[in-house]
Chains A and B, each alone.
Chain A
C-alpha cells in the first residue's frame, strides 16, 4: 500500500515568506508526528496529533510554527515569516495506534526547506 507522502519535496523560500508543508499519512493511521531534521542531526520532535487532536506541540520552536490536522488525516505544517534558521528537512511520520510514542512510526520522504 501507499506509504506516507509529503509535498512539496523541495521548497525554496525567501526570508519572510510563509510556507505550508503537507503530509498525507497512511490511511487509517491515528497518530501523526512532525519532526525537523537539520543537516547532520537526528530528527527533532515538533508536534504530535492523535486523530485531529494536537496532543503535544512542545517542540514547535516559535509561534511562527503552526500545525493542523482538521479531519484527522492530512496534516499541514505552516511556517510564517520564514527565517534562515528554519532551513531543514521536515519529516512527517504516522503510526496506526493511539499510543504513538510507544510504537513504530512510518516516515515520509521529507520536505527540504531552504530559506534564502
Chain B
C-alpha cells in the first residue's frame, strides 16, 4: 500500500528565513507527487507537482520542491518565508494509476 509521511506536525520559522517542510513517500511504480496548502476556512489549493523531469519543481507563491528518489523524499522549500505563508501544508502522492494518498499535514507558522 502506498503511503505519504509528513514527520513534523508543526514548523516554526522567522519571517525572511528559508523554510523547509518535509515529506517522504512510498509508492509502487513511478511517483506522482503534489503539495497543497490549506488556509483557514478555505479549500485546499494546489502548489506544485512532480511527474517526471527536473528534480527541482517550481510552483506557486515562490515555493519549490526537491524530488529525491534515493531518499524517497519530496520536501517543500521557500528561500524567504512570509507571514502570509502561515497555513497547513499537505504532501500527496500516487504511484501509477492509483488513488492519491495525502499526508497528515504540517502546520507552518511564520513568526514576524
Contact = CB atoms under 8 A, between A and B. Distances in A.
Given A42-B90, A43-B102, A104 B46 contact: yes
Contact of A42 (B46, B51, B103): B103
A104 B44 contact: no
Contacts of B55: none
Interface string B1-17: 00010000000000000
Interface stretch (A12-20, A66-74, A76-84, A107-115): A107-115
Contact of B43 (A33, A48, A101, A110): A110
Interface in A30-83: 33, 35, 40-45, 48, 56, 58-59
Interface in B82-112: 90, 92, 94, 97-105
Interface of A: 3-4, 33, 35, 40-45, 48, 56, 58-59, 91, 93, 99, 101-110
Interface of B: 4, 32, 34, 36, 41-46, 49, 51, 90, 92, 94, 97-105
